[in-house]
Copies of this chain bind each other. A is one copy, B any other.
Amino acid sequence: MTKSSARTGGTLAKQVESQIEQDIVEGVFLPGDRLDEEELAARLNTSRTPIREALRTLASIGLVAVRPRSGATVSRPTMSEVIDLFEVVAEMEAFAARLAATRATDAELRTVAEMHDACEREAGTGDAQRYFDANGHFHRSIWEGAHNPMLVEQIRIVDRRVSPYRRQITFHPGRQSSSQTEHRQIADALAARDAEAAAEAMRDHVMILSDDALQLSRHLRL
């Protein structure tokens, strides 16, 4: 395991899993890419065993597709499936926002506000990667405010699957500013502890993202 950002803890299989997952979510591996076991084993300095366990695990959360005796690929959902996934994310995040509006501590709401400010700062710089990360932190701070770890776990699973598509749209110029308007509505509703408004704003935000991502995908023939 000489690779760059390899986690050093736990079992090899877990490290491998984290590494591959990161590579998928961050767009190093693209949807449809073949994931050859021996190649990965060589690259990560291990045998096929931990690789296989990692691939199976990633398959079960939908990040990887394995066809028996035909190998694994980064899963490439159909456009219809991406639409469905965004719809699920939208609803779950809306639910998280609704819960956060009533359950989050004042300190947690302050954190949400801070994350929102951080987004605003990054939106100006034009550094898409940093904005993408700040955006992630904003959303996650809301999830945490929902005080439901199981919900967070489920959102993470679905969110990772649409991550490549979210990323794509974030890097599209012009999207950041409109995204910020929507973020503000969410942040304001949460600050006012208006559960329905927060849920509605969050759902709209994710659905708009979805529409844009799909339009872009269609345009790019992805």
Contact = CB atoms under 8 A, between A and B. Distances in A.
Interface stretch (A23-31, A82-90, A121-129): A82-90
A158 interface: yes
A143 interface: no
Interface stretch (A54-62, A130-138, A185-193, A214-222): A54-62
Interface residues of A, number: 30
Which of A60, A68, A81, A158 has the largest count of B CB atoms less than 10 A from its CB?
A: A60
Nearest to A153: B62
A150 to B, nearest CB: 4
Contacts of A81: 149-150
Which of A10, A53, A68, A88 has the largest count of B CB atoms less than 10 A from its CB?
A: A88
B151 A154 contact: no
A53 B153 CA distance: 22
B158 A85 contact: no
Given A61-B61, A154-B154, 9 more contacts: A10-B68, A11-B69, A14-B68, A62-B153, A84-B148, A84-B151, A88-B151, A91-B95, A154-B158
Interface of A: 10-11, 13-14, 52-53, 56-57, 59-62, 68-69, 81, 84-85, 87-88, 91-92, 95, 148-151, 153-154, 157-158
